Each structure stands twice: as structure tokens, then as C-alpha cells.
Amino acid sequence: MARAYPGYCHAARVCLRFVEDGQRGRREADDIYTVKQASQLTGIPEATLRMWERRYRIVFPHRSASGFRLYDDGQLDRLREMAAQVNGGVPASRAAQAILDAAASWPRPEAGGHTGDDLVAAAATLDPLTLDNVIGRAFARADFDEVATGWLQPQITALGDAWADGRLTVAQEHFASAGLMRAIGAVFDAAPPASGAAVLVGLPPRERHELALYAFAACLRRRGVNVIYLGADVPATDWVSAAVESHARAAVIGVSARRAGPKAQEVADQLGALTPPVSVWAGGSHRDLVEGVHQLPDPVSEAAAVLHLSLTTGRA
């Protein structure tokens, strides 16, 4: 199978001209295919192809100026590999994870082409296609752990800075954040179903900045941990109910806003008072405001590795 990194479509290097011949998007350049042609060449129905792209993120097709998906030969190879595994009885989520794991060891393109400025600029356009292309190429650049720590976390900061200094409106910042949440969610959903004791991950009352925490949850789930993601602004009583109902072994509270410190402490205290007690961990820039809990490091992939090790060695 040809090794070509997803999302790096040849469209930037070849000249395309679409003609009307009864089939919109017939190609007149080598190595570029529309979704209909990709379906015909791989034997994968168009609806299935789009679903795999959206849910498992194994390919990141380029978008033409008119919004058409454009696939290259390497992406078709990945789709064929996915189809072969699924047809052979492998669950789609496991097949996708195997393909993504293999991609992590492939030669990678230079990282300098897509920076935080690209993401801020894409947010300013309010154009979904532009935003999806920037995020898709960034996520395709490396294994998700590397993307989460080396690209995603700095870009979360860049978005916040751009809003704070007036370069982005609230709407533009939220637009970009929603795109990132969708991309992280696809990684989370693509991880194979996990078993074992549950780990709750969420934010306390008054805390709504969940991008980094969601990325942490995805990193943790990809390690086989049974993550129950609660999301933002969760009342302490609901944390307790979730812990009891799921028989949670551990809970991770994200604290990135100083004002959320007292509420995070309330959540930690109530979880720690359960019998048996829940192992409580705190992450985020203001995690030090929460006493009596385990502290996680800032890089989300490192934080996931620390908690995973503690779970597997019985220290959590």
C-alpha cells in the first residue's frame, strides 16, 4: 500500500480543470479524485466513505474552492485498507485505529506549513471549509498525542489571545472552538471500546473551557481507559451521581479558570468522601487551587500517560 500522509492532497501541486460531461467533477489531472470517483475506485459506497471520514478521520480530503472533496492515491489506499479489514470482520473502530497507529510511524511532512496563525486566520473567515482544511491537515501531521501537545494546546492559547486583543470576535473564537471539538470528538470516537473501571473526566461549575480537557480524554481513551466524558459546567451533585452509577475508580477535574477553583474543590471533596473513595486528579492552569488531589502535568498527552500508568499499577 502506498504510504501517503492523509490530508496532504496533490491538489496544491497539480492544475485542475473540471468539465461538464454529465458527471460533475470528472478529473483532467492525475492523482486527484472526486468523492464519486473515489467510491467507484475503492468499491466503498459514497455514504460509507463520508461516514468513515467524519467518524474515524482516517483521511482528510482537500476541498476545492467549490467545496468538493478531492482525494489522492494515498488516501484511496487507506480507504481500501479500511474496507478490507472491515470486510474481513474487524470492527470499523479497530480497523481505523490500526490504520492511524500505522500512520504514526510513516514519514511526516514538514511541520512549518500550518501554524497557529493559520487557525486564527481560518477562524476570522467564518468559512467551514477553510477551518476544516487547517484542522484536518494539522491532525493528519502526526500521532494524536503529538498533535494534542505540540499543536492543539498552543493553538487553544493562540485563539484566546486573538480574542483578548481584539483580532477575533466571540463568534469567530467559538466557531473555531466548535471545529476543534468536532475533530477531537472524531478521535475520541475512533478509539476502540474500552472496558474496566470507569474514569470520569469533566469540568466543575463555572468552568466552560473544555478543549484541552477533551483532548486529554481522547488521549486517555486511546490508551484503553474506560473514559466517561462529562463535559463542561457539571454540578458537584451530578459528579457524585455519575461516580456512584458508574462505579468510577478515578475522576479528573479540569481547572483552567481561577474563579472555578472553589467549585472544583467542592467537587473533589464530595468525590473523596464517597465509599469507596474516588481517586481525584486535577489538571489545567489553576489545578493548584484544588487541595487533597493528585496533580496532572500540563501537556495533555503526558497527563494521560501519567494517569494511565497509575491506573495500571494500582496507584490510582
Domain range summary for the chain, segments of one domain joined by +: 10-103, 111-190, 198-312
2 or 249, which is more confident = 249
Q: Which of 54, 25, 20 is nearest to 186 (CA)?
A: 54
The pLDDT score that the predictor gives to residue 125 is 96
Q: Look up the CATH architecture of domain 10-103.
A: Orthogonal Bundle (1.10)
What percent of the chain has pLDDT above 70?
83
The pLDDT score that the predictor gives to residue 103 is 58
How far apart CA 84 and CA 231 sit, in angstroms, is 36
The pLDDT score that the predictor gives to residue 141 is 79
The pLDDT score that the predictor gives to residue 154 is 93
The class (CATH top level) of 198-312 is alpha beta
Residue 245, classed as helix, strand or coil, is helix
How far apart CA 138 and CA 140 sit, in angstroms, is 5
The pLDDT score that the predictor gives to residue 107 is 43
pLDDT at 67 over 70: no
22 CB-contact burial (10 Å; exposed 0-12 / middle 13-18 / buried 19+) = exposed
Query: How far lies 146's CA from each of 5, 206, 226, in Å?
Result: 15, 30, 21
The pLDDT score that the predictor gives to residue 285 is 92
34 or 215, which is more confident = 215
The pLDDT score that the predictor gives to residue 26 is 33
The answer to whether the CB of 174 falls within 8 A of the CB of 40 is: no
Torsions phi, psi for 17 (to 5 deg): -140, 120
As a whole number, the mean pLDDT across the chain is 83
Do 111-190 and 198-312 fold alike per CATH? Answer: no
Which of the listed ranges 18-22, 105-109, 312-316 does the model predict with the highest average pLDDT?
312-316
266 or 51, which is more confident = 266
pLDDT by residue (tens digit) across 110-159? Answer: 433 445 568 999 999 999 989 998 998 888 878 899 899 999 999 999 99
Domain 111-190, CATH among 1.10.10, 1.10.1240, 2.60.40, 1.10.12: 1.10.1240
**Which of the four pLDDT bands, split at 50, 70 and 90, describes residue 59?**
confident
277 CB-contact burial (10 Å; exposed 0-12 / middle 13-18 / buried 19+) = exposed
pLDDT by residue (tens digit) across 147-195? Answer: 999 999 999 999 999 999 999 999 999 999 999 999 999 999 988 888 8
How far apart CA 54 and CA 182 sit, in angstroms, is 9
Take residue 150 and report the three cell numbers written for it: 505540540
Residue 205, classed as helix, strand or coil, is coil
Q: pTM score > 0.85 for this model?
A: no
